[in-house]
Structure 1
């Protein structure tokens, strides 16, 4: 029976027939273009060892989810081939396969599927992970000796309770890699590890496939994704060669016992609760590194110094202007790609006092549920105009976890860094209107006492801005292991305002492009907004 190899298929035909094995499969869910979706993702491999991703969409998932089994081999035909557009693809491939209602799946008997590999990996050396974090190019696969398994840690964030576990790997050059497993990956790992290794006196060589690499505080962070799988002591050439090269090194795996921190972490949102007046009366020398929580409402967002800044698209730190343009000192990049990032000067209050808090970057993005690039594109680049999604935060209540900032000792002014933000408990059984968001990425903010005039008087009314009032849901992975600096420049002082004519590229959400420098205005109003504005002007003119 004739079939084509994966290296031969392209988008010019619709009648391809391929012989492949399902090397990996996982379910994917999230939100795209303001609607929820679910899909079955596959990694297929052919007899040449070439891999490709395949997607079974939600319209076809019921038809094919039971007929496709990981590890089994199939003839596939009547599928659609399109160019690969995913930024975090599990295997490098120019094209991707999409199932249609007319796709035909024929299982291949085991006795004639021996030519198809069981696995496909694209290993990245530990020493190259830093570069992959700074310049993401798909998910990564790693191989190493398992040395430490940490206990589960439970925590609460804006998305509710979460659980994570860290594991440590060592390569042949004794470089160490810490991987953070989240949710089901975290809870199932220890049991599967014990089942695979109990009674065996040999090193545990493990492959982690489908890991996500990102930068946090300038350092690479490696964590699980929906596509993550692990394989312990499987029979592949890479693991066999790794085991041979260990040359008698120890094979012990340290299982770190739980000290109760996992249970205690579940109550992070209630730990060491203080009112704003109590926080502002603290002695910083006696309370350095102590974490407090504060339940407060957002009273006002001060835009006098702007609400966004120029950030490096890689590290999200503020960039420095030069004669030629801008440079990122953190990344040592003289031609960084610039993207808008939040710097929100927020006034919060409880029934005891009022204070300011500066929220930057990812933390603000999780609370707003929109990227700064989105709001600049949809509303205005004007620093003094506050978009409606930001105005919608006023009156909402959060629980802030904070510590005293090092900036306090440099400036003599008491300020705090926000490490996490939690949903607050309801008051008298009523919903406080806070919307939970996905993502638990740690960020910082600075808290300081507001002036006496502000405490006595109502805040200055916020300036209005034209733009979209919808809150587009984001699909952020649950993160939050490495703490970020106080602000994009490493201090509690907000970076300088974003000047007009900034160099920016495509925003993280598809379809929102930010204009480049050299005289092109940033933040052009959307077509619908311009149309509404034009219609309003016409009506007003006719009334006159």
Structure 2
């Protein structure tokens, strides 16, 4: 069983998580003569509950893990430290940061379709002035910014003289058909982006060029001459026509709004290692579980063996939600933007979250409904109908069973033998 990233704090080090490495980059210091020294390595981890956190590994510890980790891979990670996320221009909004030590255990796992390949915290282009003007420290804001839009006015890479010698640079504008802002890339990021744009344009048919959708993650914003300027950081990454729902949604948005390419005008407006006593998890029936209504059972975990009667396929699998880690509210489309009522924020495209789908579990004549599911209806989920599974559940004060982990026996296993975990972080509630 795995801990959710959203539940981790600094109380102990004996955590065990399963997450995807969505991004990784080095932290370097540069001397006056331009020499670079590596201070450590950074990762962004994303789990199946759509929560992502920043990981920093000091250079002395990175040598223990460097050959194990690849970007995009899914890993089981245990025994690590956590601390409050501090500093400026942080890559994600999580309130804590993870540190690996030499004793941190990292194992590559098979790919998991329940964990998304990417997560971004987009800010709508029309809100960038508001964001910059709200900075308490304009030169070092708390967080970096993710933006998405159409790439226009691309200037191919050239070299410019700096105090550290000649550096590669390229520029373009990012627009959503309403607002437009200038983006400047430096160094290797400029070179790789230039090559990717050339590759994409080379694939277009004559007269059929479609909008190139660009995502710029972990960028820095500043106002210069009444315009928002977007520049990159060591954590920044540029995605050109990424194969993702965000890109599809953005392309649909600009097409629906009759997008016309912009011209070159600017728009205005340390904790100590603590040994944990692991409690024994009680195995109960669904009937016994339904009778545990006392507050004494809150946050307690139980194991249940049940039989899946059927899998409901009629509902939608995904819904558009707020981009923040701690908000699962559904966003409302208004005037071309997606609005979160809870945080009063606008997003250019919604964050896709797994919606509420159903399958009925049968035991002692009680039915339960399990929520959470993937982008397209997966064959493995259909195959659990009629089979016995083991469910780990946790009771909360709203009398709904949450944080359920389901393991399914393989075809050759006995009925009561848990197999590989197919579904995690499910929400379960009783159906009358």
Question: Shorter-normalised TM-score: what interval?
Answer: 0.5 to 0.7
By percentage of residues, which structure has more helix? 1
Distance 1:31 1:191, change over 3 A: closer
Where does 1:131-170 land on structure 2 (aligned, <5 Å)? 131-134=130-133, 135=135, 136-170=141-175
Conserved in 2, the CA contact under 8 Å of 1:204 and 1:251?
no
Q: Which runs of 5+ in 2 are unaligned?
A: 136-140, 265-432
Larger Rg: 1
Q: Which residue of 2 aligns with 1:94?
A: 95
Q: Out of 200, 204, 226, which is 2:234 matched to? A: 226
Where does 1:494-509 land on structure 2 (aligned, <5 Å)? none
Q: Which residue of 2 aligns with 1:71?
A: 72
Q: Secondary structure at the match of 1:146?
A: strand
Q: Which residue of 2 aligns with 1:238?
A: 246
Conserved in 2, the CA contact under 8 Å of 1:202 and 1:251?
no
Q: Secondary structure at the match of 2:248?
A: helix
Distance 1:157 1:117, change over 3 A: same
Distance 1:49 1:172, change over 3 A: farther
**Structure 2 Cα separation of the partners of residues 86 and 132 of structure 1:** 18
Q: Secondary structure at the match of 2:64?
A: helix
Where does 1:46-195 land on structure 2 (aligned, <5 Å)? 46-110=47-111, 113-134=112-133, 135=135, 136-173=141-178, 175-195=179-199
The offset of 1:213, in angstroms, is: 1.4
Distance 1:233 1:162, change over 3 A: closer
- The number of residue pairs the alignment matches comes to 249
The offset of 1:157, in angstroms, is: 2.9
Report the TM-score when normalising by structure 1. 0.43
Q: Out of 185, 209, 214, which is 2:222 matched to? A: 214
**Structure 1 Cα separation of the partners of residues 251 and 93 of structure 2:** 27
Q: Which residue of 2 aligns with 1:43?
A: 44
Q: Secondary structure at the match of 2:67?
A: coil
Distance 1:99 1:123, change over 3 A: same
The offset of 1:168, in angstroms, is: 1.0
Report the TM-score when normalising by structure 2. 0.54
The offset of 1:154, in angstroms, is: 2.5
**Structure 1 Cα separation of the partners of residues 16 and 190 of structure 2:** 38
Q: Secondary structure at the match of 1:224?
A: strand
**Structure 2 Cα separation of the partners of residues 155 and 8 of structure 1:** 47
The offset of 1:228, in angstroms, is: 1.1
Q: Which runs of 5+ in 1 are unaligned?
A: 256-544
The offset of 1:101, in angstroms, is: 0.5
Q: Deviations over 1:38-64 (max 9, x none)?
A: 211111101011110001210022221
Distance 1:251 1:57, change over 3 A: farther
By percentage of residues, which structure has more strand? 2
**Structure 2 Cα separation of the partners of residues 254 and 196 of structure 1:** 21
Root mean square deviation of aligned Cα: 2.5
